[in-house]
Structure 1
Amino acid sequence: MSTKKLLILPGDGIGPEVMREVARVTAWLSRKRDITFEIDEDLVGGASLAEYGVPIRDEVIEKARTADAVLFGSVGDPAWSHVGFDKRPEVAILKLRQELGLFANLRPAKVFDALVDASTLKADVIKGLDIMIVRETVGGIYFGEPRGIETLPNGEKRGINTEVYTTSEIERVARVAFDLARKRNNSVCSVEKCNVMESGLLWKEVVTDLHAREYSDVKLSHMLADNCAMQLVRNPAQFDVIVTGNLFGDLLSDLASMLTGSLGMLPSATLGAVQEDGRRPALYEPIHGSAPDIAGQGIANPIAQILSFAMLLRYSFDLQTEADMIEAAVAAVLATGLRTADIMSPGLARVGTDVMGEAIVRELDKM
């Protein structure tokens, strides 16, 4: 098997701590599965600001372009809260998405059996839940023009943001959703507000046309965004893959993540278009933040970072078996009762970051 070129960007806060536990997994894959990685590591976010004066250097962006995949930790450091927006640590992840053309964010909401009681919803509602939300990330109201704040003749101010989508932007993210559904339960729900927004009407028309032309084997349904929010709480198990625009995806993916009751457990992937050479730009990261309040204490939960790496194996390297093994190892460790502080319950065994990572590798050894 060829060597995989991997760029690792631990970032700030707990990022370096949880990323160290991924190193245990990559070492295990090399040792036991004969999968080798050419790993490069660099600074982003506050760490890059401290060293270089910018949240991300052009050299790092170029490394990301040539890597087979990027594994990202987290950025955000209150020490830099005084700087302008263009210098904040968070610019690193935004610039990577923009420069690499990462337009499709994949955020799973999966409930592990051992954590079914951690959700605020009833166990019978969320048991076995496994949803994938595909959010368009480089278009819509966050990027549309015109935008800004203007002063009106009467002295009032007016804020302007514009919701804009083109046929090609909708088609490319819908293709990602349909292709994912074919590998899951073969069902896609497309979400918009076609009843009050022209962009939503176009979204529905384009997804419907694409489905008829190329994906008629996949079950397609449509749902208004407000109803989807309600249904995610009422009966989330009805969904397999949800595809939606930037704004609604932002809201619905956060809602879905909390169905699991464990924000610190959830990974994500953001994908670009397949290039002429067959490579596809991709970045993988946990959805939790840098958590500076617990950084350096060895108590952070590394599972979301490890599961992000599992997504990397699945979607960038087509290593389905190894991705499944890592996810199964996580489930097995949770079933033994080991818990980091963020998912701790009475009567279970509280452990730190390194012990959780070590336990996951021990489970992999058993396989």
Structure 2
Amino acid sequence: MTHRLVAVFGGDGIGPEVVAQARRVLDALDLGLTFEEGLVGGAAYGRTGHPLPPETLALARRADAVLFGAVGAPEYDALERALRPEQAILGLRKELGLFANIRPARLFAGLEDASALRPEIARTIDLVIVRELTGDVYFGDKGRRRTKKGLREGYDLMRYDEVEVARIARVGFETAASRSGRLLSVDKANVLDTSQLWRDVVNEVALDYPAIKLQHMYVDNAAMQLVRAPGQFDTIVTGNLFGDILSDQAAMCVGSIGMLPSAALGETGVGLYEPIHGSAPDIAGQGKANPCAAILSAAMMLRHSLRLPEPAERIERAVGAAIAGGARTPDLGGECTTGAMGDAVLAAL
């Protein structure tokens, strides 16, 4: 097979631990992939003085895909914002043009009791959140200042232009077309001008997708409906801030944030794949981390960037089989170590 380069950025906390299990699964499939590791986040700052050093960015640019762990640690919280570990992932999204975040959430059979919802409600969950990644308050003007009264004030500008909204809307419509043909756009158009523009542009793009049933919902109602009747949702498209919150909420609906993978895609073809959980420094090095989200992120990498859908499906089935067979890490109420959970997935594979 043609060798394809995967950049591996383990990062901080449990990031290297869960990525190592994803690597084990990929190696077992013998797909002819080449892996090259790089430093990001606090690990990179400690070695180079910057969370996203030039050599790491160069590796990401020449790779066919990026497999990412997590970044962040309390000891870096006092740094100026531009040097904090989290700037590594934000910088990669910006520099690689990764504007579309695909976050699937479905309940694996056997995890009904791990969900915060009643089992009969939890087992109806099978949805995808399409989150815009490079706009909104995360990338708008921000800072601190003094008011006329001398009070300290912080500000973050929420902003989108019509091109940014249209391109993520198209990803939402295309994703819906590959599923049930239903798309829900989530905004706060009754309060925010940014959201009113969002809704207007989504409606305009919808004219190119007459076969897709489009609906709109305010984000507060969407959050409520996600726990009341999550089975009504299939594909959701929304902005950066709302998508960040709703996808974490969806994680607890399916049992654990340790179960949700994600893909960050753009126009260049290089995708970044990471579990949606953080670096969890409180359990780092203890073998308690759930590697399933990282393993499932590797499956998404095979499907979206490397165009290998069959091995991607094999990985997903293996995760499901391992869970059905009783393998559980502590976040799922079990006693498996990170490595033991990886062993269970490999055995199923």
Amino acid in structure 2 at the alignment position of 1:251: I
Q: Which residue is equivalent to 1:320?
A: 309
SS in 2 for 1:359: helix
Contact persistence 1:182–1:218 (CA under 8 A) = yes
Q: Which residue is equivalent to 1:6?
A: 6
SS in 2 for 1:103: strand
Distance 1:336 1:283 in 2: 30
Q: Which residue is equivalent to 2:88?
A: 92
SS in 2 for 1:299: coil
Identity of matched residues, %: 50
1:27 aligns with 2:27: yes
Amino acid in structure 1 at the alignment position of 2:293: A
Q: Give the Å deviation of 1:171.
A: 0.8
Q: TM-score, normalised by structure 1?
A: 0.90
1:352 aligns with 2:337: yes
Call closer, same or farther: CA 1:128–1:2 in 2, change over 3 Å. farther
Distance 1:308 1:152 in 2: 45
Q: Give the Å deviation of 1:158.
A: 4.0
Amino acid in structure 1 at the alignment position of 2:110: A
Q: 1:227-266 counterparts in 2 under 5 A?
A: 227-266=221-260
Q: Which residue is equivalent to 1:181?
A: 176
Distance 2:153 2:43 in 1: 37
Distance 2:189 2:81 in 1: 34
Call closer, same or farther: CA 1:158–1:49 in 2, change over 3 Å. closer
Which among 188, 194, 207 is matched to residue 189 of structure 2?
Answer: 194
Q: Which moved more, 1:290-299 or 1:351-360?
A: 290-299
Distance 1:126 1:97 in 2: 32
Q: Give the Å deviation of 1:327.
A: 0.9
1:361 aligns with 2:343: no
Distance 2:324 2:255 in 1: 16
Q: 1:274-313 counterparts in 2 under 5 A?
A: 275=268, 280-313=269-302
Which among 149, 155, 158 is matched to residue 163 of structure 1?
Answer: 158
Q: Which moved more, 1:104-113 or 1:78-87?
A: 78-87
1:203 aligns with 2:188: no
Q: Deviations over 1:277-313 (max 9, x none)?
A: xxx1311111122222222222321111101101111
Amino acid in structure 2 at the alignment position of 1:7: A
Unaligned runs of 5+ in 2: none
Q: Which residue is equivalent to 2:110?
A: 114
RMSD of aligned C-alpha atoms?
Answer: 1.6
Q: Deviation above 4 Å: which 4+ runs of structure 1?
A: none
Q: Give the Å deviation of 1:196.
A: 2.2
Q: Which residue is equivalent to 2:77?
A: 81
Contact persistence 2:114–2:333 (CA under 8 A) = no
Amino acid in structure 1 at the alignment position of 2:309: Q
Contact persistence 2:26–2:298 (CA under 8 A) = no
SS in 2 for 1:233: helix
Q: Deviations over 1:302-327 (max 9, x none)?
A: 11110110111111122222111111
Q: Which residue is equivalent to 2:60?
A: 64
Amino acid in structure 2 at the alignment position of 1:81: D
SS in 1 for 2:50: coil
Unaligned runs of 5+ in 1: none
Q: Give the Å deviation of 1:268.
A: 1.1
Q: Give the Å deviation of 1:335.
A: 0.8
Distance 1:208 1:118 in 2: 38
